[in-house]
Amino acid sequence: MRRRVPRPRELAPLLKLRRPRFGRRRRLELALTVEDLRRLARRRTPKAAFDYTEGGAESEASIARAHAAFDDIVWHPSVLRDVTEVRLGTDVLGSPSALPVGIAPTGFTRLMHAEGEIAGATAARDKGIPFALSTMATTSIEDVAAAAPGGRHWFQLYMWKDRDRSMALVERARVSGYEALVVTVDVPVAGGRLRDVRNGLTLPPTLTARTLADIARHPSWWFDLVTTEPLAFASLDRWPGTVAELLDSMFDPSVELADLRWIREQWPGKLVVKGVQSVADAERVAGCGVDAILLSNHGGRQLDRAPVPFLLVPEVRRAVGRDVEVWVDGGIRRGQDVLAALAAGADFTLVGRTYLYGLMAGGRAGVDRCLAILENEMTRTLKLLGVTDVADLGPEHVTQLGTQLGSRR
């Protein structure tokens, strides 16, 4: 190999330096996956708030199993297809969504970042996807509707022991133009969320010696907390105890199928039931005149070792037919996970933790980045599969490692 001294004009193309960029924008640009956002979120958020988002019930086996189920999918691509353009849009509840994924209802969202539910609702509106507001939200039904006019807003309902208070929230949602009611049915009692108990999680956070130490590590989070509207439940009175104690006091263990039928009679819009975890219950719920069934184990936060929602999709799809939409949440961290759920037979998906990682990492800009990551991953995966429309995804495109794979020819 012969060497020589390089000429200056040959080095010039190699020395094009970019202007350095710092701060939140740069951090978010460097996040290429939801896991990258998760790591950012962990650094920027106090432990109690991050653990509330990250944690599950008891041993947290349900969360691990949901992730493993998506990790074990095997794609079966077709080649020599024109995939110059692909379509990610779909119809959900009779109206279009720009992506086959919406933002799930999450409680205490301003605890994660001061922009809270407003960041999620406006990001969803601008992306053209639905946003679901939780009963346990920290922004009111009316304020979310006002902040994101033209957005697709759904309201998630916990049926409390006080039925009048529950239905008063439903009426507020109706008046504010919410198109769908999402009734959560897997909460007869609160799950054993041990991280929250150990952290003594309250809303607003209680100042203790541990909290004061946390302030030093996360000054920007605490600055946002004390310089914005006081952190409180938008739909509830102030609660003096821990979050775990609040949930146990609210949830009604007597809710039955008759209550669902009663809600169907009261609510004039679209009705979704969230928390179905078996084929038999899917069939029972479908018989109540609902518009969609959301297969969900509450993100692994209620019954530990509950069924993995993604794995229920094919059988539930066969059982309820096409008259009722089948949705799924839980464990979705990648665009590939969304597409796998659709290929298995789901009509739509929702993300909770995934969106909150973006929120904690960078507020509204972080939510935008999260949705952009999912969209990019879905677009790339569709093209690599040789599929041009999410509506064309089917069971021929995906199997589970170690199960169905062995039966394929």
Closest CA to 78 of 287, 403, 341, 382: 382
Q: What's the CATH fold of domain 39-407?
A: TIM Barrel (3.20.20)
90-92 vs 73-75, strand pairing mode: unpaired
What's the predicted TM-score (pTM) here? Answer: 0.91
Rg of the Cα atoms in the chain: 23
407 — pLDDT class (breaks 50, 70, 90): very low
The answer to whether 396 and 404 are in contact (CB under 8 A) is no
Interatomic CA distance for residues 343 and 322, integer angstroms: 15
Candidates 113, 153, 298, 397; catalytic one: 298
What φ, ψ does residue 345 adopt, rounded to 5°? Answer: 125, 0
8, two tokens? 């200056």
Interatomic CA distance for residues 112 and 218, integer angstroms: 12
- CA-CA-CA-CA dihedral for 32, 34, 36, 40, to nearest 10: 130
Query: What would the pLDDT profile of 106-163 be if each residue is shown by its tens digit?
Result: 998 999 999 999 999 999 999 999 999 999 999 999 999 999 999 999 999 998 888 8
Interatomic CA distance for residues 379 and 388, integer angstroms: 9
Calculate what percentage of the chain has a pLDDT beyond 90.
71
**How does the average pLDDT of the chain come out, rounded?**
90
pLDDT at residue number 193: 87
Query: What would the pLDDT profile of 332-363 be if each residue is shown by its tens digit?
Result: 999 999 999 999 999 999 999 999 999 999 99
Beta bridge partners of 91: 96
Question: For this structure, is 298 an active site residue?
Answer: yes
The answer to whether 301 and 56 are in contact (CB under 8 A) is yes
pLDDT at residue number 251: 79
Residues 384-394, buried b or exposed e (16+ Cβ, 10 A)? ebbbbebeebe
